[in-house]
Amino acid sequence: MSWECVLEYDDAKRVTAGSQESLTKAIRRAADLSIYTEFHHGEHIDSESNDNQLVRWFVR
């Protein structure tokens, strides 16, 4: 079975591949779902922090 990206965003949260409709259809078909994201620690974990460490998160 092959892997297919059904929805992808860029840094500005604009859709760059696929669509929300494609993701919805895949989930309704009980497709396996994997999520990958990355962000800077100081942007999301602790917004008061100057820590610019890149956090990579992958869930399968």
CA angle 60, 15, 28 (to 5 degrees): 50
* 0.85 exceeded by pTM: no
pLDDT of residue 1: 64
pLDDT of residue 21: 96
What is the Cα–Cα distance from 7 to 24, expressed in whole angstroms? 10
Task: Give domain status of residue 50, yes or no.
Answer: yes
40: β partners: 54
CA angle 55, 9, 31 (to 5 degrees): 90
* Number of domain units in the chain: 1
Question: What would the DSSP string read from start to end of 1-37?
Answer: ------EEE-TTS-EEEE-HHHHHHHHHTT----EEE
| Owning domain of residue 47 | 7-59
- The pLDDT tens digits of the residues spanning 2-46 come to 788 899 998 888 999 999 999 999 999 999 888 888 888 888 788
Task: Give domain status of residue 46, yes or no.
Answer: yes
Task: Give domain status of residue 1, yes or no.
Answer: no
Task: Give domain status of residue 2, yes or no.
Answer: no
